[in-house]
Chains A and B, each alone.
Chain A
Amino acid sequence: MSEKITIEPVTRIAGHGKISIFLDDRQQVEDAKFHVTEYRGFEKFCEGRPLAKMAGVIGHVCGICPVSHILSTAKAIEKIQGITIPDPAKKLRRLLNLAQIIQSHSLSFFYLCSPDLLLGWDTPPENRNLFNVIKSDHRDLAVGGIKLRQLGQEITELVAGRKVNPPGIIPGGIKSPLSRENRDKIGDRIPESLNYAQKTLDTFKSLLDSHSKEVNIFGNFPSLFMGLLGEDDTWEHYEGKIRVIDTQGNIIVDSFSEDNYQDFIGETVEPGTYLKFPYYKPQGYPEGNYRVGPLARLNLCEKIGTPRADRELLEYRDRAGTRYVTSSFYFHYARLIEIVACLEKIQKLLEDPEIISENTRIKVAKGKIDRLNAVGVSEAPRGILFHDYQTDAESKVKKLNLLIATGQNVLSMNKTIAQIAREYIDGPEIPETILNRIEAGIRIFDPCLGCSTHAMGQMPLHVRLCDRNGKIVKEIWRD
C-alpha cells in the first residue's frame, strides 16, 4: 500500500494520458499522438462470468457513465434472452440516460473545461480549477454547474438505487418503479436547472467571439460522424437507427443494425497506446476517421424535439455558419445544448403518467437463451457505445468487445492536438502556456480513459517532443 497521496486528475481529463509531438527536420511539428499506457483488461476478465450478472459487473468499467454501459449490456442480454421490456421500463431507462448525460456533460464543461474558458488559457496552472472559477465573477455559473451535476446523480439514485453503478437497471427492465414522490422531487428541480443551463449557454455564446482562433484550430477538419437517430431524424440516445454522414451531410450508411457493426467498423491497434482505433471500415484506416458524441449527434439530427433546445440548435448552426459543424471546439457548445435538451426531455418524461407505472420489469425464465450473441447499443455522453457479447450454451460470457466513444474519437484527438501543436509550437522550446492549450485539445473530446482503455495507475499528462527518428528532444511533465 503506497503512502503517497496523489490528487487526480491533475490535468482535468477523466483518466491519465500522455502526448507525443513529432518534429520534422526543420523542427516543425509533423504529427502528434495521444497515448494511454496502462491497461485494465475489462473485456478479458469478464470471460467466463455468468451473462445474467453482467449488468451488475459492467457498470464498474466507468464511474462517470455507468448508466450507458449498463444500458448497452442490459440490451444485449435482453436480445440474447429474447425478451422485450415493458414500455414504462424503457421510459425510466431514458430518464436515467438523460440524467447521466446531464451529469457527465456538467463534469466535462464546468469542472474540467470551464477554468480554461472562463479564467483564460494563460492563468497559472495552480489557479486553473473550479475553485477559482467559484472565486471569480463566474461564481453563479460554477455553482449552477455543480447543481446540474448533482441533479443528474440524484435522478440516477432515485430511479435506480445508487448514484454510481446503479443496481436498478437489470435485464428485463428496471428493478423497482419510480414513486410519485420521487417523480415530483425530480420535477421540482427542473425549472431551476434549466435556468442554470441557459445562463451557461448564454455565457458560452458570448465567449465564442473571443475564441474564433480556437474554433478554427481546435480540431477543425472534415470527418465522418456516427450516432443514433430517432424517428424523423430526431436527436436520440437510447434506441434508434445508426447513421453515418460526412461533412457535407451525405448519408454514407443508414440504419445499419448494431449486430452487424463489424461490417462497418474496423478496429486496429497502434504501438504506444492501449487505446484501440476504430474506423469506418469501407474507407479503410486511417481515412475512415469518424467522430461521435455531442458534436456528431447535433450534426446528425434534424431537430432535437424540444422547444428551447431546438431554438439553440438553430443558433448553433447559425453561429458556426454551417449545418454540419466541423470544429471540435463546438463540442463544448453541443454539450451545453444537450444539457438543455436533456432537462426538457426529462420534464416531458415526468409528465407521462406511465413513468410511475408499477409495470417496470418482466421476469426472465432462468437461464433462457434465444441466441448466442448480440450487440447492445446506446448513446453514452461521449458518443455511441457498442457492447458485443458472445456466450456459450450455459450463458457464460465467451467473448466481450466494448466499443467505446473515446476510442472512436481517438483519431480525431490526434488530429486535433497535431493541429494545435502546429499552430503554437515552433522548434523544441515549448512555451509553458502552450501545454495547456494542447491538453485542452484533448479535453474538448471529454475522453474517459477508464472504460476506453481500462487504464489504471497514476500517470500525469506529459508532452514529449520527438525528432524524425523518434528520439526524444524535449519532455515536459505536468504532475
Chain B
Amino acid sequence: MSVKTLTINGELISARAGDTILQAAKDNGIYIPTLCHLEGLSDIGACRMCMVEVEGINKLLSACVTEVAEGMVVATNTEKLKEYRRMNMELIFAEGNHTCAVCVANSNCELQDTAVAVGMEHTRFSYRFPDRGVDLSHPQFGIDRNRCILCTRCVRVCDEIEGAHVWDIANRGEEAEIVSGLNQPWGEVDACTACGKCVNACPTGAISYKGSSVAVMQRDRGRIPFLAAAREKQQWTR
C-alpha cells in the first residue's frame, strides 16, 4: 500500500494512496463538515459543505471527492471557508422549508447539527417557501420533500446497498426533486423492498417513519456504514 504525505492545517500527515482528503482528515481527527457524504456510499460532492483550500489551486475543492496527493497542502478551516460554508448553509435553508420547530428530525438532524457547527444563526437570504409535496402512500414510511436538501443519500443507498434503485432525482434546477419509481407514489413502487435504508440514510426530516411526531425521529446512523463494511470485509456482526 503506497502512502502519500500531505499537510492539513499545517500538520504533516500520511494517508493511503486513493484516500480522499475527507478520509485522511477524518483518520487524523480533523473535522470537516459534510452533509451528502455517508460512510459506505459513493461520494458525489453535491452539498459543498466539505470544501477545502488546496495550495496552488485557485478554486475550492470538495474534500469528499478529491484524492490526496504527495506534498499536497490543504487548509480546512480558513476564514474564507468558514464564510463560504456558512453562506452555503444559509442557501440550503432558504431554498427549502426547513422548519425545525415542527420537523420530525428536530434535535436528531444532521442539517441542524451542521448548521450549528458552521455557526449559522440566521439566513441573510429571503426564504423561498417552495410548495413541495408530501407522499404518505407507503405503508411504513413517508417523504416530506419540503425538508429535502437533495443530498441523494437515499438514491445512493437504495442503488448501491439495497440494489433496488427506487429513488432518482427528477427535473432540473429549482424544480429538482427526489422521486420514487420514476415518479410514482412511493406506495405503488414494486421495486421498494421496504428495507428502510433510505430512512436511516436521510440526514434531515425528509424521509421518516410514518406516524412519527415532531422531534421523535431517531435514526440508526451506524447501520449503513455497517452494511457497507460487512459486505466488503465479510464482517457480519456489529
Contacts and interface: CB of A to CB of B under 8 A. Distances in A.
A45 to B, nearest CB: 10
Nearest to B122: A1
B205 to A, nearest CB: 9
Contacts of A365: 211
A152 interface: no
A146 to B, nearest CB: 27
Interface residues of B, number: 21
B235 interface: no
Contacts of A60: 101-102
B136 interface: yes
B210 A52 contact: yes
A52 B133 contact: no
Interface string B181-198: 000000100000000000
B212 interface: yes
B197 to A, nearest CB: 17
Interface stretch (A165-173, A378-386, A443-451): A165-173
Nearest to A394: B136
B17 interface: no
Name which of B135, B187, B210, B213 has the most chain A CB atoms within 10 A of its CB.
B213
A55 B136 CA distance: 17
B72 interface: no
A49 B134 contact: yes
B213 A52 contact: yes
Interface in B174-231: 187, 209-216
A167 B215 contact: yes
Interface in A374-404: 394-396
Nearest to A165: B101
A395 B213 contact: no
A57 B214 contact: yes
B214 A55 contact: yes
A396 B140 CA distance: 14
A73 to B, nearest CB: 11
B140 A366 contact: yes
Interface residues of A, number: 22
Contact of A367 (B104, B135, B139): B139
Contacts of B187: 394
A62 B120 CA distance: 27
B136 A53 contact: no
A48 interface: yes
Contacts of A366: 139-140, 209-211
B144 interface: yes
B102 A394 contact: no
B66 interface: no
Contacts of A165: 101
A170 B213 contact: yes
Contacts of B137: 394
A170 B216 CA distance: 10
Given A48-B133, A49-B134, A56 B213 contact: yes
B213 A53 contact: yes
B136 A56 contact: no
A476 interface: no
A367 B134 contact: no
B96 interface: no
Given A53-B212, A56-B214, A395 B134 contact: no
Name which of A60, A366, A368 has the most chain B CB atoms within 10 A of its CB.
A366
Given A49-B134, A394-B137, A396-B136, A55 B213 contact: yes
B207 to A, nearest CB: 12
Interface string A171-199: 10001000000000000000000000000
A222 interface: no
Name which of B139, B140, B211, B212 has the most chain A CB atoms within 10 A of its CB.
B211
Given A56-B215, A60-B101, A167-B215, A50 B142 contact: yes
Interface string B121-153: 000000000000111110110101000000000
Interface string A51-94: 01101110010000000000000000000000000000000000
Contacts of A170: 213, 216
Given A52-B213, A396-B134, A57 B139 contact: no
A207 interface: no
Nearest to B205: A53
A50 B144 contact: yes
A314 interface: no
B109 to A, nearest CB: 14
B209 to A, nearest CB: 7
A364 interface: yes
Nearest to B102: A57
A218 B112 CA distance: 50
B105 to A, nearest CB: 11
Nearest to A46: B102
Name which of A167, A171, A394, A395 has the most chain B CB atoms within 10 A of its CB.
A394
A432 B8 CA distance: 71
B214 A367 contact: no
Contacts of B215: 56, 167
Contacts of A367: 136, 139-140, 210-211
Contacts of B102: 53, 56-57, 60
Nearest to B185: A394
Interface in B72-97: none
A365 B212 CA distance: 11
B127 to A, nearest CB: 13
A408 to B, nearest CB: 26
A57 B139 CA distance: 22
Contacts of B101: 60, 165
Given A60-B101, A366-B140, A52 B211 contact: yes
30 contacts: A50-B134, A50-B136, A50-B144, A50-B210, A52-B210, A52-B213, A53-B102, A53-B212, A53-B214, A55-B213, A56-B104, A56-B213, A57-B214, A60-B101, A167-B215, A167-B216, A170-B213, A171-B213, A364-B211, A365-B211, A366-B139, A366-B140, A366-B209, A366-B210, A368-B211, A394-B135, A394-B137, A394-B187, A395-B136, A396-B134
Ranked 8 nearest A-B pairs via Cβ? A56-B214, A394-B136, A366-B210, A57-B102, A52-B211, A367-B210, A366-B211, A56-B213
Given A53-B104, A57-B102, A366-B140, 16 more contacts: A48-B133, A48-B134, A50-B136, A50-B142, A52-B211, A53-B212, A56-B104, A56-B215, A60-B102, A170-B216, A175-B216, A366-B139, A366-B209, A366-B210, A366-B211, A367-B210
